[in-house]
A = this chain, B = another copy of it.
Amino acid sequence: MNSRSRFLAACRREETDRPPAWMMRQAGRYLPEYREVRSGSSFLGMVHDPARASEVTLQPIRRYGMDAAVIFCDILVPPAAMGQGVDFLEGQGPVLEPAVRTAADIEGLVDFTASEATGFLGDSIRAVREGLGDERAIIGFCGAPFTVASYMVEGRSSRNFENTKRMMLGEPETFDRLLTRVVDNSIGYLRMQVDAGADVLQVFDSWGGALSAEVYRERILPHVERLVTEARGFGVPVILYVNGCHHLLEVMADSGAEVLGIDWRIDPREAIERVGDRVALQGNLDPCTLFAPPDVVRAEAQRVLDGFKDQRGYIFNLGSGILPKTPLDSVQALWDTVLDGGQGA
């Protein structure tokens, strides 16, 4: 069983020799070799350059040997291709200008052809496949409708999403139209990634946890479901990740995604009990754990592996993305533990 077949088997809830494993944001700033490639250039400059994007995608695989490479890209690539100005300011996060606030703003957005507007991503994926070989999986991704829409409406990172929720509650049809347009454009974008070689697709709902289950089910889920259904139609498994999703597990399981990515606030055994018979699960070590000394990291990673050991269909991951200043000796301790399948596996 190689890494790729192990990963795909876990998505399909089939037996594996050990849980496949990767790490959200594994191609990132915690790695000195990433910082070297990145040095002197902008984040978006890297995303748009297949040579460097594929190089940093491969770096963590070379160093640690995860089962899957996640393509170096950003969930705000589609809003940019839809015509919004997107920039990343150092220390500030993304800025999207002008913010999308009205029905007219939404109608002014462009429907893009993925191979033209975002062909760099297809090129990056093909370059990753060339460097990676056939034995490991490639994960493509996009942002989930609420998360992408919230960036488009707020124009930047937000703690509260008041403008997004104002639109959702005050102008429900306008908001619905925005989600529809985000999904319309995400579908072709995901198809291009599969055509270029992605084996699996993850839909990132970084901020969906800010909504109650009732609101998520009524207002957001139909859009997520459409996206997931279309993506599954391309012949690949889909992972739906929502941060802060303790209250959303059952709603997520109704999305049609084969795998649910969950955060560290959820006890693995509770997740298994609530939805583990319907979907594969992915997660959920707190990324802050990696700031602790290596022996603590080993113990905590083992606890996660133990917690999920009765789940049919399990992929090891963090509960959210690895943080930029994470110390490398702890990351090493994590991968030593996980790729051995832990002590009990």
Q: Which residues of A contact B (CB under 8 A)?
A: 160-163, 165-166, 169-170, 209-214, 244, 246-247, 264-267, 286-289, 291-293, 296, 300, 323, 325
Contact = CB atoms under 8 A, between A and B. Distances in A.
Given A160-B323, A247-B265, A291 B166 contact: yes
A299 to B, nearest CB: 9
B246 A170 contact: no
Contact of A165 (B160, B210, B212, B289): B289
9 tightest A-B CB contacts, nearest first: A166-B291, A169-B292, A165-B288, A246-B247, A170-B292, A162-B288, A246-B246, A162-B291, A247-B265
26 contacts: A160-B288, A160-B323, A162-B287, A162-B288, A162-B291, A162-B323, A162-B325, A165-B286, A165-B289, A165-B291, A166-B288, A166-B291, A169-B288, A170-B292, A170-B293, A170-B296, A209-B265, A211-B265, A212-B264, A212-B265, A212-B266, A212-B286, A213-B265, A244-B244, A246-B246, A247-B265
Contacts of A291: 162-163, 165-166, 169-170
A100 B288 CA distance: 18
Contacts of A246: 246-247
Contacts of A286: 165, 212
Contacts of A169: 288-289, 291-292, 296, 300
Nearest to A216: B265
A210 B320 CA distance: 12
Contacts of A266: 212, 247
Contacts of A165: 286, 288-289, 291-292
Given A165-B286, A169-B300, 11 more contacts: A162-B291, A163-B291, A165-B288, A165-B292, A166-B291, A166-B292, A169-B288, A212-B265, A212-B267, A212-B286, A244-B265
A243 to B, nearest CB: 11
Contacts of A323: 160, 162
Nearest to A247: B246
A267 B296 CA distance: 36
Contacts of A214: 267
Contacts of A163: 291
A165 B169 CA distance: 36
Nearest to A169: B292
Contacts of A265: 209-213, 244, 247
